[in-house]
Amino acid sequence: MHLDLPDLAHAAERLQHPQPTARKSARRPARESAETLALLSQRRSTKVAQLRAPAPSGADLEALIALAARAPDHGKLGPWRFVVIEGEGRARAGAALEAAAAEERRESAAMLFARAPLCVMVVSSPKPSAKVPEWEQILSAGAVCYGLLIGAHAMGYAGCWLTEWPAFDARARAALGLADDERIAGFVYLGSAAEPPLERERAEAAQRITRF
Ligand SMILES: Cc1cc2nc3c(=O)[nH]c(=O)nc-3n(C[C@H](O)[C@H](O)[C@H](O)COP(=O)(O)O)c2cc1C
């Protein structure tokens, strides 16, 4: 897709040439967006097996990641990182996982990333901080995952946010290049939906509201 919004056009560039200090002079007034509300109210995950090419790539993907990196982040620590698994990288990541997997999982491990054209592994990478609790840093990584999904949908793609067994397996995490203090916040698989997903039942929000 072609990105012609000024924010998006600069997003990839900012990602490659990060500015140490944000321009504090750039005030952003709140703006209504019916399209955003519609997108949020209709977003659905697409099963990984239903994800086909095209997926975001090149400048689109860099812009998408830059958008996701705007997730709320107390202290500007950037307590997360992105590992892009696409093209032949999918087989390389699968091979790394296969080597680390228990016998009964090896075959599926090798093919894990082949299921979709793109997977962005979001790694929660908490930074030492006297001010920002680790819990907040972990939550920020979750917000990044959701930002990837929302941004991808707004670009016309589909996706899903999975963890699956590698997120809970220390050997798998190491094989994918994570340090001991890092965790996988999500494998965000992206592509185009083979067919639009059906709506699903939702947890009833109203029943989960209490008031002081
Ligand atoms: C952190 C996180 C991890 C998830 N991991 C898995 C998973 O490993 N396998 C799975 O089937 N769904 C997983 N899901 C659920 C899907 O991402 C998705 O939310 C669910 O299928 C419902 O679709 P929806 O996004 O349209 O509500 C996970 C969700 C979250 C938030």
pTM: 0.91
pLDDT at 13: 53
Q: What is the pLDDT of residues 134-183, one digit of tens each?
A: 999 999 999 999 999 999 999 999 999 999 999 999 999 999 999 999 99
Do strands 80-86 and 51-52 pair parallel, antiparallel, or not at all (unpaired)? unpaired
Beta bridge pairs of residue 14: none
Give residues with Cβ within 8 angstroms of 122, minimum separation 6.
Answer: 68, 80, 81, 82, 141, 144, 145, 148, 184, 185, 186, 187, 188
User: Of all protein residues, whose CA lies closest to atom 16 belonging to ligand 1?
Assistant: 161
In this prediction, residues 56-80 reach a mean pLDDT of: 98
Asked if the model's pLDDT at residue 17 lies above 60, the reply is no
Secondary structure element (H or E) that encloses residue 120, with its range:
strand 118-124
Which residues make Cβ contacts (< 8 Å) with residue 155, sequence separation at least 6? 1, 3, 56, 60, 64
For ligand 1, what atom is nearest to the CA of residue 45? 26
The answer, yes or no, to whether residue 7 has pLDDT greater than 60, is no
How close is the Cα of 16 to the center of ligand 1, in Å?
Answer: 30
Tell which phi-psi region holds residue 58, choosing left (phi > 0), alpha (psi between -120 and 50) or beta.
left
Contact between 131 and 75 under an 8 Å Cβ cutoff? The reply is yes
* Residue 8 in tokens: 């998006």
Domain boundaries, the chain: 49-194
CA of 185 from ligand 1 middle (Å) equals 12
Question: Which superfamily is assigned to 49-194 in CATH?
Answer: NADH Oxidase (3.40.109.10)
Q: What is the mean pLDDT of residues 182-196?
A: 98
Rg (Cα) of the chain, in Å, rounded? 18
